[in-house]
């Protein structure tokens, strides 16, 4: 029951963090504009999940932290649905170039940052 409450609380905080970043990086309002806030959120979330995963490797006693921080906080913080909704708007407005860059940056940079985070997290685990 504690893990469920932890995931719920962390999810609440992750959603608030995501919402707050929307104020720091406001959207232009144009449907075909590049969604900088969503890109920042998803890329930083990829890096953080990689760091968390790498740090938790070999620490079975802390498996709950993966649920609370990974599923709870980062699951609510990152947003695949916003990515898809924004991509759909770009395609509807025939902003194919912007849409292509959005997909490429989100996928390639997201993967690269997750891999970097995993590598750095593993190093921290070995040092501890």
What is the domain extent for residue 98?
2-127
User: Tokens for 99?
Assistant: 């849409």
Check the annotation: does 54 bind a ligand.
no
Please state the domain count of the chain.
Answer: 1
pTM: 0.88
- State the Cα–Cα distance between residues 99 and 32, nearest whole angstrom: 8
Mean pLDDT by 10 residues, the chain (128 residues): 94 96 86 90 96 90 92 94 93 96 96 96 76
Contact 67, 52 (CB under 8 A): no
Placement of tokens 């995963």 in the chain: 53
Check the annotation: does 53 bind a ligand.
no
User: Tokens for 121?
Assistant: 């997290």
């Amino acid at each position: 029951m504690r893990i469920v409450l932890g995931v719920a609380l962390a999810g609440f905080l992750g959603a608030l963090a995501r919402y707050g970043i929307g104020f720091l990086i406001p959207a232009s309002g144009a449907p075909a504009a590049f969604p900088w806030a969503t890109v920042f959120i998803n890329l930083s979330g990829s890096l953080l999940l990689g760091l968390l995963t790498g740090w938790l490797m070999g620490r079975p006693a802390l498996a709950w932290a993966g649920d609370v921080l990974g599923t709870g906080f980062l699951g609510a913080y990152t947003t695949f649905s916003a990515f898809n909704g924004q991509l759909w708007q770009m395609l509807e407005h025939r902003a194919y170039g912007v849409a292509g860059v959005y997909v490429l940056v989100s996928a390639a940079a997201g993967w690269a940052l997750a891999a970097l985070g995993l590598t750095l997290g593993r190093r921290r685990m070995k040092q501890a």
